[in-house]
Amino acid sequence: MGGMKGLTLRAVLVLAAFLLGACVQSPPPPPPPQTTGCTPQATTQSLGTQALGARETVQGLADFSHPYVPGELLVLADGVAPQGLAARVAGVEPLETLRGGVLRMRVPPGQERAKAEALLWAGARWVQPNYIYKPLQTSIAPNDPLYHLYQEAQLNGLMGLEAAWATSTGDPSLIIAVVDTGYLPHQDMDSRWYRPQGVKLDVADNDPDPTDNIPSNSRGHGLAVASVLGAATNNTLGMAGVTWQGKILPLKVARSSDGLMTTTWIAQAVDRAVSLGAKVINLSLGGPDQDPALENSLGSARGQGVVLVAAAGNDGIDGIRYPARSPSVIAVGSVNQDKEKSRFSNCGEELDLVAPGEMVLVLLPDDKYGQGSGTSFASPMVAGVAALYMSAYRDRYRNWPTPDQVYQCLAQTAEDLGPRGHDTGYGFGLVRADRVMADTTYCFP
């Protein structure tokens, strides 16, 4: 994996020296729905064999590989009283009886299959999970008015997010930490912020209030980065975020008096994010080429199952800045709408992926909107896709994927750009959310 660096943005709308204005381009039409490639074949069935109720009744243990409600089973008792069946298997509690004598029963979460097998031994005829169903759609377009005007060409045209959102819009329990300049209120973001009481979220000033009030042009950078990752979406207001659900945890590492960021504060913020249960950490900041003291925290976080994503840097030179340069971090560079490397995006062997990073719609202070350019905004694109993948993986397999699994999935499904294979300007290529959600080799084996 690879690295990141500082921020190089230009003025637009409100953030002088931070956000870069640009003309709005007409977005391309959404890609056609992907097909499975299955070929219709004749069968031997007739109308009689297809009649309702004509199929054989199944018996035994159902398939537990599909998503289901944790801690619940549906049981056909076959003459055994519910209380009697429950008495034979520890940890099983009848909840209600459905039509046909099917019992809905509570079992310890994580023990669904084991308890199902025990119930069969205790006399049940059939046991299955309480399956989760979803609408059968191939894509979802959010109703945020600025999405179609400013975002669709990037989020869907380049990254295929509408197809990905049809699979997952995020896990409500997933915590995504943004280690940056801190929190700011915004009508299109307030429902996403996660600010646990009594926790010192302002690491730089050692207090619980992470409000971004630094006296510099970087004020609002944390809000802008967080909005790319998770602005409130499908709420008929403003812009869309890459993730629609989950908790965005602001950790302020910029000192209020002068905006200073240090190794110590960033390392402490990473540690605090892990202690608060974050599964993804975005770092749209950068410094030297190496930082062994910070590496201790990054390596520890990754070892505890946390996915770290950072911006590659905006110098337009060879050399990925730290922390994106760290082997514990997914390093992200920037491309434009034509899938060409942004002139400001740094190059290096440590670069892993690229994402849209020019003229990105973001939230600004005082309930405003603007456009910004920089690897600072490409990084949360990738962090958001990682969060969507992790959410879909957990929904299917009942546990979170490891950082290695996330890295393998995103890298193997990326759209190769530039020189064939991995290269210093594009890494493994452009992150593709649609491919991530459809891949059965590296993402959902």
The answer to whether residues 126 and 176 belong to one domain is no
Which residue, of 109, 131, 153, is where some domain finishes? 131
Whether 41 is in a domain gets the answer: no
CATH of the domain at 116: 3.30.70
* Per-residue pLDDT tens digits for 231-259: 999 999 999 999 999 999 999 999 999 99
- Of 180, 212, 291, 434, the catalytic one is 180
Q: Are residues 242 and 186 in the same domain?
A: yes
Among 139, 171, 221, 345, the active-site one is: 221
Whether 5 maps to a domain, the answer reads: no
User: Per the domain annotation, does 255 fall within a domain?
Assistant: yes
Question: Does one domain contain both 112 and 196?
Answer: no
In a domain, 98, yes or no: yes
3-state SS of the chain is CCCCCCCCCCCCCCCCCCCCCCCCCCCCCCCCCCCCCCCCCCCCCCCCCCCCCCCCCCCEECCCCCCEEEEEEEEECCCCCHHHHHHHCCCCEEEEECHHHEEEEECCCCCHHHHHHHHHHCCCCEEEEEECCCCCCCCCCCCCHHHHHHHHHHHCCCCCHHHHHCCCCCCCCCEEEEEECCECCCCCCCCCECCCCCCCCECCCCECCCECCCCCCCCCHHHHHHHHHHCCCCCCCCCCCCCCCCEEEEEECCCCCCCCCCHHHHHHHHHHHHHCCCCEEEECCCCCCCCHHHHHHHHHHHHCCCEEEEECCCCCCECCCCCCCCCCEEEEEEECCCCCECCCCCECCCCCEEEECCCEEEEECCCEEEEECCHHHHHHHHHHHHHHHHHHHHHHHCCCCCHHHHHHHHHHCCECCCCCCCECCCECCECCHHHHHHCCCCCCC
- Mark which of 86, 109, 131 sits at the end of a domain: 131
- Within-domain flag for 341: yes
- Shared domain for 96 and 228, answered yes or no, is no
Catalytic residue from among 376, 379, 391, 434: 376
**pLDDT under 70: residue ranges of the chain:** 1-39, 42-59, 134-137
Question: Is the residue at 63 inside a domain?
Answer: no
Same-domain status, 238 and 312: yes
| Domain, as residue range, for 114 | 68-131
Q: How far apart are CA 357 and CA 100, in angstroms?
A: 56
**pTM flag (> 0.95):** no
We report the CATH number of the domain holding residue 184 as 3.40.50.200
How many other CB atoms sit within 10 Å of the CB of residue 315? 17
- Statement to judge: residues 109 and 204 lie in one domain: no
Closest CA to 132 of 443, 390, 398, 440: 398
**How many domains in the chain?**
2
Q: What is the reported pLDDT for 443?
A: 96
Indicate if 228 and 279 belong to the same structural domain: yes
231 & 346 share domain? yes
Same domain, 243 and 285: yes
Residues 315 and 259 grouped into a single domain: yes
In a domain, residue 58? The reply is: no
Same-domain status, 110 and 182: no
- The reported pLDDT for the residue numbered 198 is 94
Q: What is the pLDDT of residue 327?
A: 97
Per-residue confidence (pLDDT) for residue 137, from 0 to 100: 64
Q: Is 434 annotated in the active site?
A: no
What is the distance between the alpha carbons of residues 3 and 290, in angstroms, rounded to a whole number? 10
Q: Tell me, what's the pLDDT at 21?
A: 28
Q: Please report whether residue 48 resides in a domain.
A: no
pLDDT attached to residue 32: 42
199 and 286 within one domain: yes
